[in-house]
Amino acid sequence: MPPRKKFDPKEAVAHLKAIYKQYLAEGGDPNRFTIRHYNRINTSSSMYIDVFVKKLGGWNASLEKAGIPLGFRQYREYSKEEVANYVKKVYKLYLAQDKKPNFEIRYKNQEKTFRMIDFMTTNDKAGAKFSLAVILKRFGSWSNILRELDIPIGRSRGLSQEQIIDHVMEVYKRFREKEGEERIFSKEMYEKYNFIDEVYISSKLVERRFKTWMGAKRKMKVY
């Protein structure tokens, strides 16, 4: 195995600036550059998002070092009522649109829910006034905003351990196809490849079922 390249903060910041420049060239809002946008554009295997989170003090600190606006601060400019009304608008649009076979259909024991991934995939169609980060900053958690709007909160207990294992193994297979054999199957990598046939099972749920992330990996014999 070749020696790992020494981390260079200046190189990381320059790379972040380059990704942001490409994002703007695509017509992106300069005040709403998020981790999701970065992951979509980035193709460098040495500059995954965990580099900025672990080496540069976090995503927001990385943005500040690169001179990129911190879009999440927009939540301070709006009341909770305004943010909640917007989430309600996205929820209504989500219910109205034709849905592909998804999580609720594949796993029949699951209650139909409005998940974070559903918000993100519908948000652009509603105008993308607020990002998910803004909503979580304003309400503390996704469950809190759902309670505020009286939207059903999903129950993950409907999933069997076998269904969770099947999903994680599919994610692991895709991870290995994309990343090769040397990278570690971390929670960050799991989340990066987590959408299989429109199904999303959070790493937190996996940890709850298997006590720890390492416990889940040992059970499934993946590394």
Whether residue 113 is found in the same domain as residue 173 = no
Q: Is residue 96 domain-resident?
A: yes
Q: Is residue 1 domain-resident?
A: no
* Of the residues 69, 88, 118, the one at which a domain ends: 69
Q: Is residue 132 domain-resident?
A: yes
Q: Is residue 4 domain-resident?
A: no
Q: Is residue 32 domain-resident?
A: yes
* Of the residues 50, 69, 88, the one at which a domain ends: 69
Whether residue 144 is found in the same domain as residue 192 = no
Whether residue 54 is found in the same domain as residue 84 = no
Whether residue 78 is found in the same domain as residue 150 = yes
Q: Helix, strand, or coil here: 196? A: strand
The CA-to-CA distance between both ends of the chain, in Å, stands at: 17
Give the DSSP H/E element, type plus range, for residue 122.
Answer: helix 116-123
Q: Is residue 3 domain-resident?
A: no
Whether residue 179 is found in the same domain as residue 208 = yes
Q: Is residue 78 domain-resident?
A: yes
pLDDT in tens, the chain (223 residues): 445 567 788 888 999 999 999 999 998 888 888 888 888 898 876 787 777 777 787 787 888 888 888 765 544 567 889 889 999 999 989 888 755 444 443 444 344 578 888 888 898 888 888 888 778 778 877 878 888 888 766 544 456 788 889 889 999 999 999 898 888 999 888 888 876 655 667 788 888 888 899 999 999 999 8
For residues 164 and 70, what is the distance between their CA atoms, to the nearest angstrom? 36
pLDDT for 5: 62
For residues 47 and 42, what is the distance between their CA atoms, to the nearest angstrom? 8
Whether residue 133 is found in the same domain as residue 146 = yes
Q: Is residue 2 domain-resident?
A: no
Structural tokens at position 105: 């259909």
Whether residue 150 is found in the same domain as residue 175 = no
CB atoms within 10 A of CB 220: 16
The three-state DSSP-derived secondary structure of 73-121 is HHHHHCCHHHHHHHHHHHHHHHHHCCCCCCHHHHCCCCCCCCCHHHHHH
Q: Helix, strand, or coil here: 199? A: strand
Nearest to 20 by CA among 9, 8, 30: 30
Residues in the chain: 223
Whether residue 178 is found in the same domain as residue 120 = no
Number of domains in the chain: 3
Q: What is the pTM of this model?
A: 0.39
* Of the residues 114, 139, 157, the one at which a domain ends: 157
pLDDT for 94: 87
Whether residue 82 is found in the same domain as residue 63 = no
For residues 170 and 202, what is the distance between their CA atoms, to the nearest angstrom? 14
Whether residue 126 is found in the same domain as residue 99 = yes
Domain span at residue 196 reads 159-220
Residue 125, amino acid: K
Q: Report whether 97 contacts 57 (CB < 8 A).
A: no
Whether residue 125 is found in the same domain as residue 201 = no
Whether residue 213 is found in the same domain as residue 173 = yes
